[in-house]
A and B are shown apart, each in its own frame.
Chain A
Amino acid sequence: MNPRRPRLLMAAGVVGLAAVTACAPGSNSSTGASTPTPGATVSTDAAGMGKVQLIVWDQEVRGGQAAQMSQLNQEFQAKYPNITIKRVSRSFDDLKTTLRLALSGNQPPDVVEANNGRSDMGAFVKAGQLRPLDAYAKAYGWDARYPESVRQYSSYSPDGKTFGQGSLYGLPQVGEVVGIYYNAKKLAAAGVQPPKTWAEFETALAAVKAKGEVPMMFGNLDKWPAIHVFGTVQGRTTPADQVTQLAFGRKGASWTTPENTKAAQTLVDWVDKGYFEPGFNGAGYDPAWQAFSKGKGAFLIAGTWLQADLQKTMGADVGFMLPPGQSADAKPVATGGTGLPFSVTSKSAHPDAAAAYINFITDAHAMQVLTKTGNLPVADTAAQQVAGGLQKDVFTAFGTAVKGDGLLPYLDYATPTMYDTLGAGLQDLLAKKATPQQFVERLQKDYSAFASTNG
């Protein structure tokens, strides 16, 4: 036996142990300039900032998204020749998984598109990696330009704990809202008008069912689609401020209220009455809306992101509306939000130029470019010139919702685990594996556990 063997082993052991007990994870990521001096003057004179290179990470990789981004980048560089944009674009999933590492590195990008939720933007704010933009908001007048119900989606308290309030950490370009698509032909065949009130909507569902048609297309294999359907129903039963409180995971609300239980009960009733396509828990989201576009089902509860595809296949047969209220003139209430906001990183050496860039890609001209490239701009929506049909419906609906401050946040924003809890909970509820009471108790458990430790 080689006498050196034990020593070698021991050395290996020591090295291994040293590695295990070495510095704690995250200890080498300096928090950088997490707290820029308050009251520091900010510059909005982009032309006078000297030679600057901005590294921008975005996820605008698809059709119209990619088109607007490259057009706006070109125009920005033409207007300010001293600033060059180095663009890195990745798909949403790739961006989400790589951004964490990029931000904790030593040379993070200047501008990043970060997902709004707690596990992304919230975590970055908490780690001091994003710069609060309040000073720029004042300088550029963003507070006046974007209503509270839009800004809340990129607002956090500086410790990252409170979502929906506090400092502004980013600005989005596009908006989205969950509403009801309807097949006009199918409604006419069933002898009903597009509903103006929630009661009319339920009557229409029954009328379509009586005709032997599928009242509502729904595919819930991916777990999350039911969140949008539930959110739409909950918007009718539960006061908007309570939903907002719950959805942002802020203290002081409760899931176990009669209103929320009633919303869950409504979904179960719809299942019992056969309003959904049978086998919905085993049907995919994409196949479901594709079937709707091919003329199956009278209604589809889904977001504005389907507009282009549905318009292409259904033409004039399809319409879109916000979920109707108790009366025809009720205040609009709908689940919705914004696209991913653009934020400035704390370590960026050129925050002024970065803010100027964000201002440029979200100003009035940018909104026109967004419209032309087939996107739904987050501001000035109702003022855009669009051809009639579904696109007009969608623009009107979003404009109305924003104007009435009627956007309710996505329910899964609430806690880092709510997406799973809610997705699995709704599958259980709809499959009758859980009663409405058990369902809201399960959500309450998740919500209160988080709200109490989050302080």
Chain B
Amino acid sequence: MTVERTGRPRRGGGPPGEPRRVAYLYLLPAFLVYAAFLLYPLVRSVQLSFYRWDGLTLGTWVGLDNYLEVVQDQGLRAAFGHALVLMVFYALVPLVVGLGLASILNRAKVRGLGFFRTVVFLPQVVAMVVVAVAWRRIYAPDGTLNSLLSAVGLGSLTRGWLGDYTLALPAVGFIGTWFETGLVTVLLLAGMGRISGELYEAARLDGAGPVREFLTVTLPSVRGEIAVALTLTVIAALRTFDLVYVTTRGGPGNSTSVPSYEVYHRAFELGQVGSAAAIGVCLTVIIFVISFGITRIGDRETT
């Protein structure tokens, strides 16, 4: 793509963004912001992860020690395990519930669809910290959940939910389910709204029932939306911080600790900045790989 050197032509001809050099110039302002607030911190985090540094004095180079610790430390491995469990509650359960809800809302063409859509989506609007504080009250030993259980004669099931070693993590995860279901449902509803009615008609003429209709028409048509929903919710699950910070602080014992909480805890409370950076980098890589995988699957299946 050469530009005539003599008699510079006025712009007008040629595709926009030619010559290339000028095109890059257009990108520059956005790139500078991106570089300053994203690329630089990222590179710096990678650099920090090779050091043992308390944030104050001169750091010492430790090579891959911080990463070895991530792999070897039982507590940290457990934290990553908890994040995987949370993924089920944040991504899979909302997807299943959302698919059901969305297809019912879509098929039934209920009156006041807008109202139901708003109600389902409402948790998304509330700040996570507020959600966490509210649920902490619900799960308290004298909280709403226990009063409800006692009221229906299930008093034997009552307990301090967030203090129970086996149930604390599912309890925290359930808050995530409650939080993400609305987002997934609304996304899927939008996708289903775009499906042409003719497809359903054709299916019905071929003798398909509601289930068959759902499997052959609805599900394949919203694969793109499913991929988006999964990407968003999986990322939300892996970077859970505020929820754990407010509800359990990783307890009881360490049964609800998650990687993002460890990053904060190590960097700001323990002064182990290098180790925190290493966990952060690992988390970034994991999130990248998983979301890359999801989008690849989503793309392949839609085309």
Question: Taking beta carbons and an 8 Å cutoff, which residues of A are in contact with B?
Answer: 2, 16, 19-22, 24-27, 29, 96-97, 100, 103-104, 119, 123-124, 126-127, 129, 220-223, 277-284, 287, 291, 416-417, 419-420, 423-424, 427-428, 431, 433
Contacts and interface: CB of A to CB of B under 8 A. Distances in A.
A100 B160 contact: no
B141 A278 contact: yes
Contacts of A427: 163, 251-253
A55 B253 CA distance: 41
Contacts of B53: 24-26
Nearest to A281: B163
A161 B300 CA distance: 59
A26 B57 contact: yes
The 5 closest A-B pairs by CB, nearest first: A282-B160, A282-B163, A281-B163, A279-B160, A279-B141
B160 A281 contact: yes
Contacts of A423: 251
Contact of B43 (A20, A26, A428): A20
Contacts of A127: 54, 56-57
B251 A100 contact: no
Contacts of A279: 141, 158-160, 163
B269 to A, nearest CB: 6
B170 to A, nearest CB: 13
A174 B258 CA distance: 36
B91 to A, nearest CB: 26
Contacts of B57: 26, 29, 123, 126-127
A124 B252 CA distance: 31
Please indicate which of the listed interface residues B50, B59, B253, B272 has the most CB atoms of chain A within 10 Å of its own CB: B253
Interface of B: 20, 40, 43-44, 46-48, 50-51, 53-61, 136-137, 139-142, 158-165, 168, 248-254, 265, 268-273
B138 to A, nearest CB: 11
Given A24-B61, A221-B248, A416 B160 contact: no
Contacts of A278: 141, 160
B20 A123 contact: no
Contacts, number: 135
A29 B56 contact: yes
A424 B253 contact: yes
A282 B168 CA distance: 9
Nearest to A12: B39
B56 A417 contact: no
A119 B252 contact: no
B169 to A, nearest CB: 13
20 contacts: A20-B46, A20-B50, A24-B59, A26-B55, A27-B58, A104-B56, A119-B270, A126-B56, A221-B160, A223-B249, A277-B141, A278-B141, A279-B141, A280-B160, A280-B163, A282-B168, A287-B137, A291-B142, A417-B270, A427-B253
A29 B250 CA distance: 34
B58 A24 contact: yes
B83 to A, nearest CB: 18
A57 B60 CA distance: 30
Contacts of B254: 420, 424
Nearest to A19: B43
Contact of B56 (A22, A124, A277, A287): A124
Given A291-B142, A433-B165, 11 more contacts: A22-B47, A25-B51, A25-B53, A119-B271, A123-B57, A279-B163, A280-B141, A282-B159, A283-B160, A427-B253, A428-B253
B253 A283 contact: no
Contacts of B251: 221-223, 281, 423-424, 427
Nearest to B58: A26
A277 B142 CA distance: 11
A220 B140 CA distance: 11
A281 B56 contact: no
Contacts of A19: 40, 43-44, 47
